[in-house]
Amino acid sequence: MEVRDARVLLTGASGGIGPTIARGLAQRGARLVLSGRRVDALEALAAELGAAEVLPADLADRAGPETLARDAGAVDVFVSNAALPADGQVDDYTPDQIDRALDVNLRAPIFLARALTPAMVQRGRGSVVLVASIGAIATTPGSALYSATKFGLRGFGLALRQDLHGTGVGVTVVHPSFIDEAGMFAESGVKLPPGAPTRTPRDVADAVIRAIERGPAEIMVAPILLRLGTHLAGIAPAPVAAVSRVMGSYKIQAQLAEAHRAKR
């Protein structure tokens, strides 16, 4: 479907890669509804973009998704971008912290899609874009909780796509890899091994636009070698995990977990 003049609800717009996605959509003529927790950041972004609406929401609040869906009203496109890092060992999380990760990363996208897609189906057009992660396809040490939420999001998106087949409503799952400049990885300050390439927030924004306009099932935003490795890990997880450990994945994930501890 066309991005121009489409009314797009974007969650996670107040930080990370959200503003870059918003700018990319605005450049294509979308009518944006920006949601996130930080009202000041949302209002500043809306002022920069012009006519964007602002709907603050805390998706960790059990009532948050349904309230946001009600306030947003009819939208043509739902881009689920809000997420928490959830790195580290599961036994290092409190029950409340586990619930918060599940609520933001998985429950909220499900509830929002449930609330927003019936009107899209009724109109015979629409798009749902779920920003997941390469952690939805392959696991690494110290990512059990994060991967659980992203594997779940991927499964939900692919199955919802089948449920909506023939209705005019598309569903695409976008899988970013390590993103520099902004977002969870960039904000952590963790360094990858020499020669390990990253992608940019603009690459993710371009993938979101491609998802809306072309409607593929999945888009991976990753360098070619990482894409191949991720697909291989999905087929043969045990041997790929062994190689990953040798290449220092434990150390990187431990650093990410410590950097993200305050966001739990």
Task: Single out the catalytic residue among 78, 111, 146, 151.
Answer: 146
Q: Is 93 known to be catalytic? A: no
Are 65 and 59 in contact by the 8 Å Cβ rule? The answer is: yes
Pull the structure tokens for residue 15: 């930080």
Are 148 and 93 in contact by the 8 Å Cβ rule? The answer is: no
Residues annotated as part of the active site: 146
